[in-house]
A and B are shown apart, each in its own frame.
Chain A
Amino acid sequence: MKKTFLEILRSFRLSLLLYVLTAVLLFKVVDHLRVDLKTFDYLQDRVDYLNDFAAGKRPFSPYGVKEALRYYEHLLKYFPNTPTIHNAVGFCYYHLGKHDKALKFYKNAIALDKEVFGFYYNVGLIYIRQGKFADAIPVLRQAVAANPGRTLLYPDLVFPLNEAVDNTQSQEGDLRMKFISRAYVQCYKWLLLCYEKTGDNKRVRDTAMAAVSSAQEGKALFYYYAGVADFLLENYEEAAQFLKECLEMDYSFQPAYAYLAQALEKIGRPEAAANLITQQKELEHLGLLSSAGVGLDRKTEPMLFFYPPRRVIFPDGAGFLF
């Protein structure tokens, strides 16, 4: 009997048992939260890379973005309700070319904080890139309806460095505001593009007018869109009015000339139309016309909100900043 018992015992003397006991020991003895927080602290430079990249200070490195993604995905385990972490994960996926995954995390961020313009902006950007204009419309409408102040409440919005370079004398707060304002303008442009692609000219006109009244920049473009929409809706008087406004604001806006000339002809002012065409040709000859701003700007990038550093203090006084 004794021998049998020893044999049974010996048959359990396998490495597997050693592994199991080790796993139990590690599970019992190790303070996993502390280990994770230390790891976050240790991996801090991955976050620094991502911020630098988002700010345009460092070039894209798939390794750098992958490492940052690992950091943020790990962080989500502990802070599943922090929208900026979801946004950062989405940001990483976006740059790794996994747009569907990025969408999922951006949408998570929206679900957690419905007031932040930047999250809608990021989702809208992906839809636009994918050509899903109908899907983009509700998101972009929410984006332009969001209060910019709410986005600015996030103190760690990363904005591209070139914005700062252009305005070295400005205060950071002004720069942030300017950055957000431009992003709003961009959202309006995308929205107009979406309506245009879906053939909803009335919406184009209404949105363009809304943009004119709320946006700080790009008004010439919005007048242009309003003018073209009215032209297509055969409201030639209004179209001519808006297109004139457009050219008064920016005489170099080439696409407006043709529409305005046609609108003027439609409302019985062929001389004015002819003059306009002549004026356009002269400006064209001098190289003073451009069509910048119309269509999709391929350089546009999503926004990143640097997850604000947090300090965790354990009862024994140990502190971690991550």
Chain B
Amino acid sequence: MNSENLSFMKNAWLKKFFGNFLLFGVPVGLWVFSFHSFIYPKLKMFADAQCFYYFTNTYLNHIARGVYPLWSPFTSWGRPEGMIVRSIGECNPFLYLVLLLRMIGISFPLAYIFYLLIYLLVGFAGFYLLSRRLFRHKAVAYFMFNMILFSSMVKNVFNDTDVALMFICSVWFFYFLVAFTQERNKFHFLGLTFSSMIIATTYLPFYFLTTFLVFLAGFLLIYGGDIKRVGIGYWEFVGKNKLFTFFCMVAVGLSLLPGLIWYAEGFRTAEYTINWRGGQGEKKHLAQFSSYQTMNMGGMIGPHDLTIFFSNQDVVAESFHVPMFAMVILLMGMIVPVSRRMLLLFGTSLMLFLISLGDATPVHRFFYDHVFYFRIFRNLQFMLYLYLPIGMLFVGEQMEYLLDASARATLKQKAGMIAWTAVVHLGFLAFLVWMGDVFVSSFAVVIFSFVFFVLYFLGRISRTGTVILAALFVLTALHPQEIMFHMRKKFNDVPQAYAVPVPSREETAPKFSFSRPLRSEYRLHNITRGYGEVEDAPGFEYGRYLRTKWSVFFQNKFNSNAIEDYIRHKFWLYDAVEFIREDEQIDPARIQSSLQAKNNLAFVASQADAGNVMQMEGAVSPRAVPIVENNDAFSIVRFDLNFIRFRTNFPKEKFLVYNDSYQSRWQAFVNNRPARLWRANVAFKGLRLPAGENVVLLRFHHPARMALHLFLIVFFAGVLAYLVWSAVCRTRGPSGSDPDRRDAA
């Protein structure tokens, strides 16, 4: 290859690079600008996004010191952390971008928002690539990219991060599914595997599962004749790549482990409870709703009121929007014949919308009655961010038809299309005027759209040039800019919207305290309570869904004022033990008065010995003794989230109560020998300690459990690295990944 050729290739590459940079850089730049005041000068967040933000910081600080949080000793008098960890998708390698950024000195708020925005852009890129797979014209895929970019997806990053996270892995799943169905190669199968792994470790994979099942049902219904061909293609791939397929299956199986373990633990005779889900009904699992009414509680309806879409009114963080141009295309598309793919996209989107309406239609009730997992998830409005992209693809289909139709139309047909364009746009303008108080940009979009379509139908705009891309970008971006302008203005200088301060790494490292604060002394920000506390809370707090069953019993059946003085001390020493029943048939008033009077009598749950009193050997103190600091008889050796080690040296045998919630997965060791851990004083841990020097270890789960979680984090990162490496190899290889060269699906 001579130097002239090399120079030509280099120039071509540079041209392509700058072309793409302009093509995607400008919209992304505008996108970032549209919410800049949410990031600078101070990060702003709303609702649950604050909780995820706060908890992510705590979680990553723990991970950075090599500890996976299985237990939180600080909140709710101690409780398992599993469910909260689920909410941030702890296995997702992108999450650890925050750690990397912090290593190079970037502050947590900036690193966190950087991670979210990068990850969101990864999702948008996936949507673009999926569109490239589905549509013949790059212009339509680009239109889809702008549609998703300028939709309300970004608002959810600042409002309820879960939704955005769910969208990203789902988009990539569908991209790899389509790509694998078209090409059937290892790379796409690995991508399918990895996106499935991420989905399996999201907080609630059920939204995706529902989307996928509805899509699958629609596919079977509409593409029934192609099932065999597709199935044979899959089977041939598996036959040729047995080992690889096996690896992928194992990987997906491993990713299911945390969720399955957590789900299985929910069956363990209800050791945990989710407070408000309880009610009076029968429950087989802690996550299950006691009744259909409980499940549908609260305002769960999303964007049913379309006036929000047009009117210059509701610009709150959780309200949805898509570019107004989509509405113009939907109207223009009324004359577009429905293809099978359009039917599949529209049908899937519509069915998910109906499900999202909860008890307002019989659809969700049907699934609730017949599909088990519908009983354990709510917030059906989250479905919006899964059916909305599918609906956008339907709009893309219509757009593609409109662009194609013009190319093959006769002069007479073109005149008809221009007339139709005029009718639609004038009608829409009239509608906007009738609505009143609409976004000004709505009018601009409709007028520009009219000009665009007329010029296109007259052949003044090419289907492949840059003009059409620029026009689609402007048409799509205009209306959302006005919405975001109002959003910025609305939340400008609203102190409630500022992200809560997060603790540093040093502050996160667990420090043991012998006493808890009283309720009147508790100062943690209300919105983040129960999400990654790093200091003791009084324990009476709501608990963010999850507490141990007995701590809830203790909180509900005992007078909080009466027991606060008892519960504020973490360790109590007793010389006598009374055995009580293991079930709820106990006398709270008697136990409460004994605890309040600091009687030297601990209550230990033992069905077999119920009613008996056991006296420790030796002299008896008149009152139970709280331990308030390290001393010669008792000292904390080491303390962390998942364990505590302490040294005792009592002159006589004692019964020690540790006011940290009892759970059967806690293990006790005295001088390295297993010891029995009792449920004492209704909700807490207790154990007998012999006289003399002892080293006691209390730990939650075997260390292998923590190792499993840490392994999964590394494993996920490994699979992602392998996927990226495969992608790089593909782009360098002879076949490349040009969608134009794909097989027809």
Contact = CB atoms under 8 A, between A and B. Distances in A.
Contact of B304 (A22, A39, A41, A63): A39
Nearest to B291: A317
A35 B299 CA distance: 9
A30 B330 CA distance: 22
Contacts of B311: 70
Given A29-B361, A31-B361, A319-B293, A41 B313 contact: no
Interface stretch (B255-263, B331-339, B370-378, B519-527): B331-339
B378 to A, nearest CB: 13
A42 B293 contact: no
A73 B359 CA distance: 24
Interface stretch (A10-18, A175-183, A226-234): A10-18
A40 B359 CA distance: 15
B398 A15 contact: yes
B42 interface: no
A276 to B, nearest CB: 53
Interface in A1-31: 10, 13-19, 22, 25, 29-31
A38 interface: yes
Contact of B313 (A10, A16, A67): A67
A15 B342 CA distance: 9
B15 interface: no
A18 B338 contact: yes
Interface in A286-322: 316-319
A13 to B, nearest CB: 5
A64 to B, nearest CB: 8
A167 interface: no
Contacts of B357: 30, 35
B336 A34 contact: no
B360 A22 contact: no
B307 A70 contact: yes
B501 interface: no
Contacts of B361: 29-31
Main secondary structure of the interface of A (DSSP, over half): helix
Contacts of A318: 292-293, 296, 359
A82 interface: no
Contacts of B336: 14-15
A22 B350 contact: yes
B544 interface: no
Given A13-B338, A14-B336, A39-B304, A61 B362 contact: no
Contact of B359 (A22, A39, A316): A316
A61 B316 CA distance: 13
B651 to A, nearest CB: 56
A44 interface: yes
A43 interface: yes
Contacts of A41: 298-299
A17 B333 CA distance: 11
B300 interface: yes
B328 interface: no
B490 A44 contact: no
Nearest to A11: B337
A30 B313 contact: no
A39 B315 contact: no
A310 B171 CA distance: 42
Nearest to B350: A22
B346 interface: yes
A61 B335 contact: no
A66 interface: yes
Nearest to B342: A15
Given A34-B359, A34-B360, A39-B299, A18 B304 contact: no
A41 B360 CA distance: 14
A35 B292 contact: no
Contact of B335 (A15, A67, A74): A15
Contact of A16 (B304, B334, B486): B334
Q: Which of A13, A30, A38, A43: most chain B Cβ within 10 A?
A: A38
Nearest to B296: A318
Interface in B539-555: none
Contacts of B298: 38, 41-42
Nearest to B304: A35
A83 B38 CA distance: 40
Contact of B334 (A19, A42, A74, A317): A19
Contact of A15 (B301, B314, B334, B360): B334
Nearest to B314: A67
Given A35-B357, A38-B301, A63 B335 contact: no
A284 to B, nearest CB: 44
Interface string B317-349: 000000000000010011111100011001000
Interface in B495-520: none
Given A13-B338, A38-B300, A38-B358, 13 more contacts: A14-B334, A15-B330, A18-B343, A29-B363, A35-B360, A39-B299, A39-B301, A41-B298, A43-B299, A66-B313, A67-B313, A316-B293, A318-B359
13 contacts: A14-B335, A15-B334, A16-B335, A25-B350, A34-B359, A34-B360, A35-B304, A38-B301, A67-B316, A316-B292, A317-B291, A318-B293, A318-B296
Interface of B: 291-293, 296, 298-301, 304-305, 307, 311-316, 330, 333-338, 342-343, 346, 350, 354, 357-363, 398, 486, 489-490
Q: Which 4 A-B pairs have the closest CB atoms?
A: A42-B299, A41-B299, A16-B334, A38-B301
